[in-house]
Amino acid sequence: MGEQTIRYMNERGSVTIDSEIREVLGLKEKKALVRLCEIQVVKVEDDEVNVEDLPDETCRTISRINNRGIVRIDEEVREVLGINGRKAMLKIGDIEIAKIVDEPTAEVRSSIIPIDIGAFYARTVAEWSQIKDVYLRAHQDIEYPLSRSTAMKIIGTGILIAMVSAVLLGQNGALQALATGDRIEWISLTIALTFGVIMVVHLLPDRREVVRSLIENPPE
C-alpha cells in the first residue's frame, strides 16, 4: 500500500510526513524503512532559482522515518534534483513501507540474566538480518534473492569450510580444549567469530550504497 504527498523539505533534507498518511500506512508512532518513489521538485524557496532551470529528473530512495514522521532525503538525491542545500517543496509520488523497525529492548531479570541477554542479542541479530534483506532486495546491482544454483554453491562452500576447520581444530587439540572449557581457546574462537561477523557486515551493502545504486541505475 502506498501514499503520495507534497511536502516541504528544509536545507538539510528533512521532510515531515503527515500523521494522517502515517496512520493510513500503519506508521503512527513507529520507526520504519520506507521507499520514497517518484520524488520531484515542485517549488524552490529561493527567488533566484526557477524550477524549470533544474534538472528534469525524478528520483527514488530508501530512507528511515522516525516515530515523529521525519524522513531525510539523502544528499545524493538532492544533488541529482539540483536542490542540495536549498529549501523546497517536493512531490513524493509514492510512500511504501519496506520494513517496520522494532528496536529490541533488554528486560533483564536478575534470576535469568544469561537467558535475557541471549534473547536480546537474538532479537537484535534477527532485526539486523531483516533490514539487510530489505537493502539487498532494493540494491540495483545485486542479484537477490539468490538463484537456487548460487545458493547451493554458497551452502556447499560453507559446509566444506566448516568440515576442514573441524578437522584442523581436531588435529591440533583445539576441539578437545574447547570441550573441556579452556578459556584461551574459547576467547580465540570468540575473536575469530567476531572478526567473521565484522567482515560480513562490511561486505553487505548499507543504506547509502543502496541509495547510490537507485540513482545510478534507476529501476524501470
In terms of residue numbers, what domain contains 168? Answer: 110-216
Question: Do 117 and 154 share a domain, yes or no?
Answer: yes
Higher pLDDT, 209 or 3: 209
123 and 86 part of one domain: no
pTM for the full model? 0.71
How far is the CA of 18 from the CAs of 3, 8, 22, in angstroms?
11, 11, 6
Query: Based on the domain organization, do 91 and 41 belong to the same domain?
Result: yes
**In this structure, are 57 and 138 located in the same domain?**
no
Residues 143 and 211 in one domain: yes
Domain boundary among 75, 101, 127: 101
- 7 and 43 both lie in a single domain: yes
Q: Please state the domain count of the chain.
A: 2
Confidence (pLDDT) at 106: 47
Q: For residue range 21-69, list pLDDT tens digits in order.
A: 999 999 888 999 999 999 999 999 888 888 888 988 899 999 999 999 9
**What interhelical angle do 207-216 and 113-138 show, nearest 10?**
10
| Of the residues 101, 122, 155, the one at which a domain ends | 101
